[in-house]
Amino acid sequence: MRKQNKNTAEEGAKGRFHSELFDWGEALLISLSVVILVFVFGVRIIGVQGSSMEPTLQDANQLLVSNLFYTPEKGDIVILTKDSFMESPIVKRVIATEGDTIDIDFETGAVTVNGEQLEETYIAEPTTTFYDVTFPQTVPEDCIFVMGDNRNHSTDSRYGALGMVDTRYIIGKVLMRIYPLNEIGTVS
C-alpha cells in the first residue's frame, strides 16, 4: 500500500511539474507573440541619420515610432519615406497640414502658417536657406509640409524633390528617444 501511495505521489508531482512547465511555456509563447505583433503592426525602432533635426535629435539617436491611429498634427516629429527623394526613412517636423498656407521670410527667418508666425523654440537658427519652392504655399489635401529643426542644414519641403509629402508616406510619429540611454524620453 505504501508503495502505491509513493507512486501516486510521484506521479502527482510529475503531473504538477509538467502542468506548471506547460503553463510557463504557454505564457512565454503568448508574451513573445504579443511583442512580435506590437513591433510588426504597432511600433518600430528607427535610427536618425544626419544632422537635419539638431538640436532636438542627434545623428544615431534611436527612436520609437508608431502609426497606430495616427493623424498628423502641426509640431509632430515624424518619420517618412519617399523613394523619389531618398531611399532611407527621414525624420522631420510637421509644420503645416492640409489646407494650411505656409510662408517663409528668408530675410528675417520667420515662418508663418495661416498668417501667424510660429514660435519655434526647437530650431537651431532662423530659416534663411532658400531652395527651389516659392512661397506662400497652400498644403494640398492629404499632404503635410515638413522641415528639419536645423533649418539651414536640412533638405525638406522647401526642396521640390521632397515638396509637400503625401500622408501615405508617413511611417509614423516619434513617440520617444530610446538611445542613447542617458537621453531616453519623449521628444518635442
Q: Choose the catalytic residue: 14, 19, 31, 52.
A: 52
- Clarify whether 52 is annotated catalytic: yes
Cβ atoms of residues 188 and 75 within 8 Å: yes
**From 3, 51, 92, 188, the catalytic residue:** 92
Q: How far apart, in whole angstroms, are the C-alpha atoms of residue 174 and residue 48?
A: 11
Known active-site residue 188:
no
C-alpha cell at position 178: 530610446
Measure the N-to-C terminal CA separation of the chain; round to a whole number of Å: 74
Q: How far apart are CA 101 and CA 97, in angstroms?
A: 9
Positions marked catalytic: 52, 92
